[in-house]
Chains A and B, each alone.
Chain A
Amino acid sequence: MKTRIEEMEGKIIATLEGELDTAAAMEVEKELQPLYENKGRDIVIECGKLEYIASSGLRILLGILKSTKAGGNKVTLRNMNDDIKNVFKMTGLINLFDIE
């Protein structure tokens, strides 16, 4: 499981790659810590190479969403595969994020 954080055009781009299972979640949460502390910038999470996500991963994304929204910014999920999109649909989270 790999993560990368970049800044581009005033936005934070976080790229997730691999399987975000429960075992990986703790590490990913640490790596994405900057996204929690983000102020005044929109966040894009690039999911093109994300193969799998468990509920622990969903918790991380929901946590980022909550703090970003509290600052008046949005979180966009980009390029999710069908299986992952399905999980987001199932849990209703798809309505809370911006989806590209």
Chain B
Amino acid sequence: MKNLLNRILKSSKLRSGLTLIITAAVLLELIAALQYMYAHRVLERELEHRAETEMTLKAILIKGTLQKTEQMLRDYSWDIIDALDNPDSVASELAFLVDNNREILSSGMAFVPNYYPSKGYWYEPFAKIENGKLICRQLGDESHDYTQLDFYNQALETGKPTWADPYVDVASNNVEDTLITTHSMPIIDKYGKLAGVFAIDVSLDWLSDTINARHAYPSSFDLLLTEGGDLVCRPKASHINAGDVSLVHQLINDSSVVRHKSQSGITTIIEFRSPYDGEKGYIFYANMKGKPHWQLAVACYEKEVYAPLKRMRLMLSLAMLAAMGLLGLIVYRTARSERRLHRAAVERERIGGELRIARNLQMSMLPVKYPAFPDRTDVDVRGLLMPAREVGGDLYDFFIRDEKLFFAIGDVSGKGVPSALVMAIAHALFYSTSSHESNPAYIMRDLNETASRNNDSNMFVTFFIGVLDLPTGRLRYCNAGHEIPIIIGKQLSLLPVEANLPLGIIGDFNYEVQEIILEPNSSLFLYTDGLTEAMDDEHLQFGLQRSMDALMPYCAMKNPSLEKMLESVRNEVNTFVDGADQSDDLTMLVISYTPKSETLVSHESITLTNDVSQVPDLNNFVTSFLSRLHVDASIEGQVKLAVEEAVVNVMNYAYPMGTQGSITLDAASDGTFLKFVITDSGKAFDPTEGGRVDTTLSAEERPIGGLGIFLVRELMDSINYERIDGKNILTLKKSINHK
């Protein structure tokens, strides 16, 4: 939960989502509150309405029943008046009345004292049904002085039919207590004289039924009170708490209790709280219209009144909760998917960044400074690599060592990072192997062996290596399944090339060297299949012919701008593909060979045998040659040492031990540089493949030998080896122009 909260707080999307949910919740809660208030009001009115309806209905029922009794009293009063003449006939009227009206429990006629002198002071004939039998009696006597009783006095006082307060008849309690009331009216005889009070007693058992029937709310109960506040009729149902009934009764009679009129003004309302369970309730009460002046009260409990509201509120809360949950889920999922998108974008950005770095690395491995050899007039090289993706599987490289231009171009199957990695390895290998190996076939074999080893990804590399001997124009090369280079001379031609296998397929494939002489003022154009297989929208390939067409203008051109040459080919390709996606890396490399013929002013030579005892002769020859040229003394010392080392090297290694062979040293100069050419007919031996010395080693680690060729390299400007016509030709050059 804490985690979730943290995540919510951290994510701006989720934060805004949370805000949304809270806002929605507040709004919904506000609406619900308004609805609640409104509904509460409605229910409040409904409560009053129901209570008043109940009361009105019950009052009508009560009155209806009572009216029958009133009617009966009125009807029989005429018979009584008629029977007044004979006191006994009054009694028989009563008996008839009681006998014929079951709802009448008893009836009596209480005569004013001494109305019939014959009957004495008190005379009250009385008829009643008891145990199913009609009993007629005269009740009035000293012990039953009816003139003191309410029914008598009230009737006389008002002069009208009167209802006495109900009472429980305990005297005739053979079954159960019966609630009884007495309806009485004064009787005036034919002479206008007050005869007495005619009364009928009716059972109020039906009242209880009426009171207890049909309530506004299930737990509601009704009370019937006399005008004076005595309880006439109490609820019978067992679920009604007696304490509540007493409280209600008491509150109605307690004038100090706060009460208010209902909206209709019909009823008075008192709030109460049940002593039984603390439930809040409302008492509605009102006087019944007309007589008797009874009060009818209805008590309702709030929980029932507002129960629907509570239910509604609960439902609403649940619905709201569900809605909030749903909203939350939607927000969370939206935020999550957005976060996922964002993360993916970040990842893409990161990969993009890494690819850019990889591209920069790859590009940094390529020679990028142009002109490539500003100090040289005999050769110029320029390359261009356009990766299809950020990083490509193409490569080119070139450098000059010992007056030889080493160059290579390659293409790894596939594109992207893996190809670029393989290419980087091939590149590094090419560079390191070329530093001590001048034969392109050997370099190629070395690369192939490494590429084939652990080639789990089955990536193969097409590669072309060339070594151009700059003094002679001899181009030795080796191909490993790469595109055929184009020679741009007086006309265009293809370099005669063995296809061979690409690198990485057969580890011990026997790559052989090929060679031609590259004519002065011609160029060699190399490329990857990204050029010839560049496709337009209709998958038509650029092809070799279009490539050659693009190069055609550069035939026989003196000192062509290599930059423009590559640019024009690139433009041709771009025009051809016309905006179609570049599907493969496109790489071009062009080498222009423009050697100047040397005009040598001094030329001397000496021939020696492979015997180091001739070294003093060699040194004398060199010293005298240099002194004639007036070469600076320090240069003289350096050149002498370099030539001795080079010649001694040949003496030691060109011919097998014990055989004699000759070594010729040609010394020449044009006044600006010195040139020494050492020629022998011994076995092929390239001293430039050695001569690398780690000058930082300690005395213990330092090998004794190997310093000779190292010194030649250090002391001369260039060293160049060629084997031509069965001869080893080693050329040393040094400038004597003092800058």
> Can you give 14 contacting A-B residue pairs, CB < 8 Å?
A23-B613, A52-B640, A52-B641, A62-B702, A62-B704, A66-B700, A66-B702, A66-B704, A69-B699, A70-B700, A87-B711, A91-B711, A93-B695, A96-B698
Chain A 66-100, CB-CB to B under 8 Å as 1, else 0, gives: 10011000000000001100010011110010000
Given known A83-B634, A92-B695, contact A21–B619 (CB-CB < 8 A): yes
List residues of chain B with CB within 8 A of the CB of A82. Answer: 634
B645-688, CB < 8 A from A: 645, 648
Interface of B is mostly: helix
Partner of A54, one of B613, B648, B695, B714: B648
B607-639, CB < 8 A from A: 612-616, 619, 634, 637-638
**Are A55 and B616 neighbours in the complex by a CB distance under 8 Å?**
no
Chain A 21-40, CB-CB to B under 8 Å as 1, else 0, gives: 11100100000000000000
**Are B704 and A55 neighbours in the complex by a CB distance under 8 Å?**
no
Interface positions of B (Cβ within 8 A of A): 612-616, 619, 634, 637-638, 640-641, 644-645, 648, 693-700, 702, 704-705, 707-708, 710-711, 714-715
Interface positions of A (Cβ within 8 A of B): 19, 21-23, 26, 52, 54-56, 58-59, 62-63, 65-66, 69-70, 82-83, 87, 90-93, 96
How distant is B470 from chain A, measured CB to nearest CB, in Å?
A: 25
**Are B711 and A66 neighbours in the complex by a CB distance under 8 Å?**
no
Q: How far is the CA of A69 from the CA of B701 in the complex (A)?
A: 12
How distant is A64 from chain B, measured CB to nearest CB, in Å?
A: 10
Q: How far is the CA of A23 from the CA of B694 in the complex (A)?
A: 26
By beta carbon, the residue of chain B nearest A54 is B644
Given known A21-B616, A54-B645, A90-B711, contact A83–B699 (CB-CB < 8 A): no
By beta carbon, the residue of chain A nearest B695 is A92
By beta carbon, the residue of chain A nearest B616 is A23
Q: How far is the CA of A19 from the CA of B638 in the complex (A)?
A: 14
Residue with the greatest number of chain B CB neighbours at <10 A, chosen from A22, A63, A87: A22
Partner of A55, one of B619, B634, B645, B700: B645
**Are B704 and A92 neighbours in the complex by a CB distance under 8 Å?**
no
List residues of chain B with CB within 8 A of the CB of A56. Answer: 648
How distant is A22 from chain B, measured CB to nearest CB, in Å?
A: 5
Partner of B619, one of A19, A70, A83, A96: A19
List residues of chain A with CB within 8 A of the CB of B641. Answer: 52, 54, 87
List residues of chain A with CB within 8 A of the CB of B619. Answer: 19, 21
How distant is A98 from chain B, measured CB to nearest CB, in Å?
A: 11
**Are A96 and B702 neighbours in the complex by a CB distance under 8 Å?**
yes
List residues of chain A with CB within 8 A of the CB of B710. Answer: 91
**Are B699 and A62 neighbours in the complex by a CB distance under 8 Å?**
yes
By beta carbon, the residue of chain B nearest A60 is B704
By beta carbon, the residue of chain A nearest B704 is A59
Partner of B644, one of A22, A93, A96: A22
Given known A55-B707, A58-B707, A59-B707, contact A23–B700 (CB-CB < 8 A): no
List residues of chain B with CB within 8 A of the CB of A69. Answer: 699-700
Given known A52-B640, A87-B711, A90-B711, contact A21–B699 (CB-CB < 8 A): no
List residues of chain A with CB within 8 A of the CB of B700. Answer: 66, 69-70
